[in-house]
Structure 1
Amino acid sequence: MEVNSWQEFLRGDENAFSELYRSYFNELFAYGLKIGFDEEACKDAIQDVFYKIYVSRNQLNHIRNIESYLLHCLKNRLFDIHNLETKIDHIDYNDIITENESSVVEKIIEKETKLLLKDKIKQSLKILPPKQRRIIYYHYQLNLSFDEIAALLNMQPEAVKKSTYRGLQKMRENQQLKNPIRSFLYLFI
């Protein structure tokens, strides 16, 4: 119904606008309260959002999900009101840029570390026999239990455990992987 009301409002139907307001007011109000704003601020922000939508309806034909759009607009308006009330006049953009640069550098380092580790694991897996490689793949990448792997490969669960242990030992010895299990978990979690 709200989708139809939205389309009708865009075509100029005043009643559809009222219907949208009534349909979404409670949801928007609850959302505003949930993210930590008081009742009056929420009511004011909802009024502002609907006013803005009303006066700019001709530029909103691209909006397909009205609910998501309203929630996004409300959140932005509430934060605008909050900023005006607390009179944030000065923002030190150097701090913001420094924080963002640090997080970008950390992400690059983490990505490079994962790539290096992934390469080491691939090299280590190549030394294992195919069945042992498959067992390790099933266990650490597909998160299958030893019983599930045993059923898949027609083996005993104890044999699967031993094969996994021996495979990890070989990987540790040949590629200097201090802890292959932690390496797998780091890569795939």
Structure 2
Amino acid sequence: MTERNEEAVWLAFRGGSETAFTEIYNAYFKVLYHYGYHIASDENLVKDCIQNLFIELWKSRQNLSATTSIKFYLFRAMRRKLYQTVRRDKPLLSIDPLTDTYDTEVNFSPEFNLIASEISAQQRQQIEQAINRLSNRQKEAITLLYIEGLSYAEISEIMTLKVRTVYNLVHTALENLRAYLNQPATAIWLTVGYLLYP
């Protein structure tokens, strides 16, 4: 969707258009799923959160604010919904947004093996290990920046961090990945981007 089209679709949705609601759902379910999965690594939990998020959006549509970026709006809402759900329903699943430790592994999405079939098993394992050595916030920041194409300012709002902190997270993540993989940053993201998202 173009920015102008997004505004029109969002306006129609807020006005009660089921067609616009369906269009938004179909356009963003997959990216919300991938984003949520990189945070929680629980397929059913993430899907439930997306469903509940859209139910809540539909019920409160008339009170929603205008937006020029549906993706940004949904990512911010999805992150909040995930953390609320985990705190309430799965307190043993640690995804504290303020924690910057190395104790949580990324479990790649179910499509990972199919997507990565053209990459050698050794390369795939190296990339998985390198990403899993990043901190939780570094993983989230690089996913939003390089995979989802959001700006540093948008990421700072979604993650409730200062823009400078997001820059530092991304810089540190790239340096760590470059050290782990012994590759230039560009080569890393061409490969990692291909692996993480079809």
Q: Which has the higher contact order (CA 8 A, sep 6+)?
A: 2
Higher CA-based Rg:
1
TM-score, normalised via structure 2 length: 0.41
Q: Which protein has the bigger helix share?
A: 1
